[in-house]
Structure 1
């Protein structure tokens, strides 16, 4: 028998709930429509702790590679992104431009590019300060700028070592410092993510990069110390340590040293290399309220490489 709910018995909220679609003509159909509509109504609240809506995030090394991939994930989660890199302004047909265009046309957000060398403390401070002034806040940082050089220890020059540590440790430090200063100035909480590496925990068998590995160990220790200092301000600092990633750089490396194509995957428990997209979720997790009680920690995503 058909049933109807008297309009006068509904509250204003209930009338809005059942306005679309029209109330079905049977109790079973009505129940299904109720739960379907309620699900649609509540969907914006599902896993809301992962939302970065309207948060302002700075990403160094954000013009390409893993940094750009993570930037796109943050945009999808609702963040406004400011990418820092030492490269010239990305070309209109670049991956960066594609992501920036998607941010405005599809995601209702925006991504802005700033050219800077993270070793230039003065310029870095001015750019980050300008971002904070324009946006009125900075909520997060991914410090992903870094370089790599494979050279035997006996052949390493002091100049090369200084450059490696200057970008990978001092540059990360100064970027975190610039962002934290703006947060503390505004009495604002936030989350900083320093990109380390599994190479900061172990020595890579068959990969000759002593200065790089030392620099990434420095990043992990830096994150712990900054977390200890800035925790009282509500600023969380963690590191993210990827394993081997398939990039243009590793592809060219495999061309030069083909045996690594099989040796590297065999060194972890999943027997494969990772892809930049596999670190999207980690970035959102560490910057969002989903990790609100996590600081001074290293999130290692290495396929089990270091767990043997």
Structure 2
């Protein structure tokens, strides 16, 4: 699991919601006052500084990324580091150590490793607690751990089903609840991103993965349910956790390569079904992770973002 670090001051609202962007116009300040917002509002519009895109900055914030040892998870973790965050990753592969060396100290962020099996609830709770205790905060989680298994539905074994569900669904549930527990306890109004797949929305031509597809469909609904439970802020200041879901299209990763190797012709089918005529690269999802983990996505919760090159839009 990957872990990222930074700090942002959060402001309380009288209506028990916490804004990250203050009203800067006369009308905005009047509406905010009418809504009962208790924080001090600026007398003048906020001034720009030499720092560009401040709402995307993650300096001082701490993030955990499951499935961050390689592929999509690691690429998103690197994006958070570049914005100044500190990441914690599980099960590093050679790609992780290369990324750790590549991280520029000037960014202000860093990559760290924690061994983690998302199927183990006690261990996951302990790891999330240790990460949060390090800086007395946990600002975000990217739950990207996942596995696939290509097999016809009638030939799926009980062991296959258990493994896929325990990692893709139960692992996402366990990781998110462990992270949310720390955010609630430390009153960090953080962000959680569950990585699903467009396979949770459609049946992919050429890919016999009924258990994988259905597990990813469940993750989409899980994100909505978590958002409903955790987005509101109670009178003790607990809550304000945004939860969203990402559904990527086909990406050039070891998992996709496994499917293509097992089912010849799959790559050509996927490319022909895509509006862009190609598969995605992991780095094309960096911006989405940064948006949802930063203040730039402060009004996004319960959303499902589909980034599939138009595959599902025909």
From 18, 25, 43, give the equivalent of 2:50. Answer: 43
Q: Which residue of 1 aligns with 2:270?
A: 264
Q: Which residue of 1 aligns with 2:31?
A: none
**What is the TM-score of this pair, normalised by structure 1?**
0.81
1:107 aligns with 2:100: no
Q: Which residue of 1 aligns with 2:71?
A: 65
Larger Cα-atom Rg: 1
Contact 2:82/2:104 (CA < 8 Å) preserved in 1?
no
Q: For 1:255 and 1:171, locate their aligned partners in 2 and report how far apart those are by CA, in whole Å.
A: 26
Q: Which residue of 1 aligns with 2:6?
A: none
Q: Report which stretch shifted further, 260-269 or 232-241.
A: 260-269
Q: Which residue of 2 aligns with 1:224?
A: 224
Structure 1 pair 252–174 and aligned structure 2 pair: CA distance change class (3 A): closer
Q: For 1:216 and 1:250, locate their aligned partners in 2 and report how far apart those are by CA, in whole Å.
A: 15
Q: Which residue of 2 aligns with 1:140?
A: 140
**Structure 1 outlier segments of 4+, above 2 Å:** 101-109, 248-258
| Structure in which a larger fraction of residues adopt helix | 1
Q: For 2:203 and 2:137, locate their aligned partners in 1 and report how far apart those are by CA, in whole Å.
A: 39
- Using the TM superposition, give the Cα deviation of residue 305 of structure 1 relative to its aligned residue in structure 2, in angstroms: 0.9
**Which secondary structure does the structure 1 equivalent of 2:312 belong to?**
helix
Q: For 1:202 and 1:166, locate their aligned partners in 2 and report how far apart those are by CA, in whole Å.
A: 21
From 237, 240, 251, give the equivalent of 1:234. Answer: 240
Structure 1 pair 160–246 and aligned structure 2 pair: CA distance change class (3 A): same
1:24-39 alignment runs, 5 A limit:
none
In the alignment of these two chains, the number of paired residues is 261
Contact 2:76/2:289 (CA < 8 Å) preserved in 1?
yes
Q: Which residue of 1 aligns with 2:311?
A: 305
Q: For 2:103 and 2:272, locate their aligned partners in 1 and report how far apart those are by CA, in whole Å.
A: 38
**What is the TM-score of this pair, normalised by structure 2?**
0.80
Structure 1 pair 105–52 and aligned structure 2 pair: CA distance change class (3 A): closer
Unmatched 5+ stretches in structure 1: 1-40
